[in-house]
């Protein structure tokens, strides 16, 4: 058996986005939780999956739901992620509560949304794996929220040589592209922030 803490932290080296998955219970009440286990599965038919802890209070609802929706959070929705990761609170308080075309609660301001028809549930140890067929999706140009090593992060596109030159961070020399003093200072500052 692995050391569970070491295992969890090794899994955390896989950077993911952050989603909120929603559904309605049999009485029509909205249910949702933060999940980073979301992944794409199939393009044709369009299918996605995510996994839910068997300890989650939401498990019976997702087991019965005919439809659920995955909301890919934008970088400015960190507070929403924390809210939907807190058990036993009214997670939907103060949110305007429409449904998407598939019939699951719609959370506004996301980077993307996938409305799904529930298709299969698989056993996955201490999690249940839900596979859904995407029946509707929506996307807007928004920076996504990132999760890595148990912390939130932001996307940083790797700069090209042309980007660095334009910003005065590097110059083209006979030996190739080399950092300017400003470029070196900036790199050191970024490394200090990333290691904190
Ligand atoms: C970034 C992040 C990702 C998470 N991903 C998952 C996940 O994929 N599956 C899961 O069961 N719980 C996940 N959780 C924990 C649940 O959001 C949390 O336990 C939630 O309270 C469960 O919903 P419940 O209150 O209905 O039980 C995650 C939490 C965070 C902060």
Global pTM exceeds 0.85: yes
What does the alpha-carbon distance between residue 65 and residue 185 come to, in Å, rounded to a whole number?
Answer: 53
- Report the chain's terminal Cα–Cα distance, integer Å: 31
What does the alpha-carbon distance between residue 159 and residue 124 come to, in Å, rounded to a whole number?
Answer: 39
- Residue 19 CB–ligand 1 contact under 6 Å: no
Q: How many CA atoms lie within 13 A of 74 on its CB side?
A: 13
- Residue 146 CB–ligand 1 contact under 6 Å: no
Q: What is the pLDDT of residue 14?
A: 98
Coil, helix or strand at residue 4: helix
Ligand 1: centre distance to CA 183 (Å): 40
**Which atom, in ligand 1's list, is nearest to the CA of 82?**
31
Q: What is the pLDDT of residue 129?
A: 98
Ligand 1: centre distance to CA 67 (Å): 19
4-153 — its CATH code? Answer: 2.30.110.10
Taking a C-beta distance cutoff of 8 angstroms, is the pair 147, 17 a contact? yes
**Which atom, in ligand 1's list, is nearest to the CA of 85?**
17
Protein residue with its CA nearest to atom 18 in ligand 1? 85
Take residue 148 and report the two structure tokens written for it: 């890595």
Take residue 104 and report the two structure tokens written for it: 């699951």
DSSP character at residue 110 = -
- Residue 128 CB–ligand 1 contact under 6 Å: no
- Where in the chain do CATH 2.30.110.10 domains reside? 4-153
Q: What is the pLDDT of residues 20-61, one digit of tens each?
A: 999 999 999 999 999 999 999 999 999 999 999 999 999 999
- Residue 33 CB–ligand 1 contact under 6 Å: yes
What does the alpha-carbon distance between residue 157 and residue 23 come to, in Å, rounded to a whole number?
Answer: 34
What does the alpha-carbon distance between residue 19 and residue 74 come to, in Å, rounded to a whole number?
Answer: 9
Q: Where are the alpha helices (DSSP H) in 66-180?
A: 78-84, 161-166
Q: What is the pLDDT of residue 96?
A: 87
CB-based contacts of 117, cutoff 8 Å, min separation 6 = 66, 67, 102, 132, 133, 135
Protein residue with its CA nearest to atom 25 in ligand 1? 87
Protein residue with its CA nearest to atom 16 in ligand 1? 85
What does the alpha-carbon distance between residue 86 and residue 103 come to, in Å, rounded to a whole number?
Answer: 24
Protein residue with its CA nearest to atom 5 in ligand 1? 35
CB-based contacts of 102, cutoff 8 Å, min separation 6 = 67, 68, 69, 115, 116, 117, 135, 136
Q: What is the pLDDT of residue 196?
A: 75
Q: What is the pLDDT along the chain (196 residues), one digit of tens a residue?
A: 789 999 999 999 999 999 999 999 999 999 999 999 999 999 999 999 999 999 999 999 999 999 999 999 999 999 999 999 999 899 999 998 899 999 999 999 999 999 999 999 999 999 999 999 999 999 999 999 999 999 999 998 898 999 999 999 999 999 899 999 999 999 999 899 877 7
């Amino acid at each position: 058996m692995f050391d569970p803490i070491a295992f969890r932290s090794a899994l955390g080296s896989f950077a993911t986005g952050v989603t909120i998955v929603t559904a309605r219970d049999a009485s029509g009440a909205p249910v949702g939780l933060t999940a980073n286990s979301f992944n794409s599965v199939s393009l044709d038919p369009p299918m996605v999956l995510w996994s839910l802890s068997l300890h989650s209070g939401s498990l019976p609802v997702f087991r019965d739901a005919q439809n659920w929706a995955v909301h890919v959070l934008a970088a400015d929705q960190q507070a929403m992620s924390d809210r939907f990761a807190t058990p036993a609170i009214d997670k939907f308080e103060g949110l305007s509560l429409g449904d998407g075309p598939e019939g699951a609660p719609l959370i506004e301001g996301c980077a993307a949304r996938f409305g799904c028809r529930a298709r299969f549930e698989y056993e996955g140890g201490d999690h249940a794996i839900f596979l859904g067929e995407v029946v509707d999706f929506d996307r807007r140009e928004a920076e996504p929220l990132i999760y890595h090593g148990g912390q939130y992060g932001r996307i940083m596109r790797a700069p090209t040589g042309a980007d660095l030159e334009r910003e005065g961070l590097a110059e083209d020399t006979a030996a190739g592209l080399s950092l300017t003093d400003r470029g070196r200072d900036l790199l050191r500052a970024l490394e200090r922030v990333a290691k904190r």
